[in-house]
Structure 1
Amino acid sequence: MARGQSSSTRTSGRMTTPSRTQQFTRLHELLARQYKPRPADPGLPVLEHLMFAAVLENARHAVAERVFQVLKTEFFDWNEIRVCTIRDLSEAGEGLPDPAAAATRIKYPLQHIFESTYSFDMEDLRKLTLGQAIERLQKIEGVSRFMVSYVVQNALGGHTIPLDMASLRVLNLLGLADESEVASGTVAGLERAIPKSKGVEFAWLLHEFAAEFWADHHAPVVAKVFKALDPQALERLEAWEQGQLQPATTAAAETAPPPTPVAQAEATRVVEPKRRGRPKKVEGAPSTSEQPSEAEKLASGQPADAMGAQPVEAEPAGEAAGSPPKKASRKKSESKPKTARAKSAKTSRSATEEKAAKGEKKKKRGGSQRG
């Protein structure tokens, strides 16, 4: 009997800690008491689902619906929205948590879709398999993970729970997601804990609650749900808020190791841009290429920098100290043609003199014969 009682005691002790699946179910029940879900119309065009998700991220449904109606009524069509500036779209998104970010999520996907298909028709995604459709959506420039999941759930009928940053932070404070899952944007076991038949409703409720938390961390409904599901969630909220107020670089600076001498040298090293021609001397930091060679010091008796000359290689033995090898070889090569021209000139002069002498002899002979 004692063994049986101890076994039952251990079993009851283990059951006091609910599993993550039980916590998700409990959260669904608590949120259903606070909000009345109004899911989106699945018959809307795929593009409209995508654009609504762009304004819905981290925002309450009522605010997102109002901004979406402004986009559809105050602009002529999606092409006008595509060519509109981020500033104008931000003004149209007044009331959203981050109008500029929402404007970016609207403009860039529209630009990508138009440049890819020269239209704004995305209905062909309904004909693809779910995996192919997800791959196409993920390739659109500017779409977020939340936008892809929202379209998959509300337009394509897939089972997924769209999670934006507000939803991920709420699940983290409730102990249902760790920091690695917040960073990755996915929560393990969420789709298994929530059946597909209740996926759309749970996603709507969670998003509405998370958006209210994002607008006011201490709203009455937030404190009520936190306390009912996990009393420690309020303590996590306080710790998270204190962490948010600290500079983001404080923890990294405290844990970072001291820099090594090599790292310090690399950090202080100045990389000069490459220049054409002779490098200029920088006062206080001469480069190794500007140092005078031993040959120049012997030849000139003063540093090469004072003469403004570039370093040259040492001269070979037997040559004059002040005559570079290149110039000496040039003189030698130039002396050869001069000698040849002198010889040819002497030869031509001697030939002319011989001809003149022969002519005088002939004249003398002719005069003697006449006499």
Structure 2
Amino acid sequence: MSIIQEKGCQTHGVLHLNYAGISDRDFEDFKDFKSEETEFIYLKRNLLTNVPPAVLQCSALKHIYIEDNELVELPPEICQLHNLCVLNVTGNQLSSLPHTIGQLKNLTKLQIGNNRLTSLPKTLGRLSHLVTLEASRNDLQTVPRELLGCSSLKLLALDKNKLTWLPRQLCWLPSLQELSLAGNFLQYLPPMLFKQPRLKELVLDENTALHYLPYGTAVYETFYSPLLEVSANHVHGNDVVCGHMQEVDPGRSFLVPPPEITDVLTSTHRVPRLEELTMRTVARLLRHQEDVYVLGLPREVADHLAFPTDICAQEQLGNSCQNFVYKSAFPMVFKRHHILRGLLACSYTCFLECLKI
């Protein structure tokens, strides 16, 4: 009798092998595995270094839990599991994911936390049914903008990574409700993130380089509340009150603009750069164009037109300005009535005149 037959239990399409101490070799010797009937596999806390080939033959498999093993890779053949809904490989030694993971069209939950991942494959953006992506405790420095294709994504957990910035495209995730970014190295957040209508919870604890938050209409109504957890940044959401505004001093070290804003203009500039003005003009002409990518524009230009960096703060305050901000802007910070140990609200205006509110 093999160790799997001795310690395992396979009934009604479920294979239970948690805490069984099984290795790769044990699966090779397992002859009675009913792969065609198996829908759930539990392999928690074993000694597996690879996903057993027998598991990849389970055409009916819907849930697989291989957390806390010693996996060093996921095989490209994982894409053969067309019915897979839940994949949990938390607590392994994975340094990358196969690009074929984007072929798991029915995947709704992906748990890849506590590994050694330095990047995520762009093909994750093909998982339109993905609801939960848990990738905390890795070595991620950013996430692919292609995640925008995960139109069903509600929970995105990226705690305890090495993130310094987030792609602005993530602000347009249509279903996102919870975003957890605790324990990273964030210096700024995409301004449009705070205009996400469905976002209910944003966790920012232990981002010690984060000294300001973007300003938006919804910020003071929703996000500066108990739902915005930034306690380790020495600030509580309830303490933030919208006050007067002032022009930011470009020499102030706390202001780190989004990477696409290459020039943070000062009061010596009266208008934005020509490139910026051109993009605003083109955007107004294409206001009713559903897809700017079909027009043959350069990828970078099309990407900015489809996902602008911010909207002028005048518009946010209910005034008449209709301009989006793309690659250059006039920054400003908001004073507050309460002392918040250095955390301010930052926004951008399209012209110097808009700064004088």
Scaled by the length of structure 2, the TM-score of the pair is 0.19
The structure having more radius of gyration, on CA atoms, is 1
* Greater share of residues in helix: 1
Scaled by the length of structure 1, the TM-score of the pair is 0.18
Q: Which has the higher contact order (CA 8 A, sep 6+)?
A: 1
* Greater share of residues in strand: 2
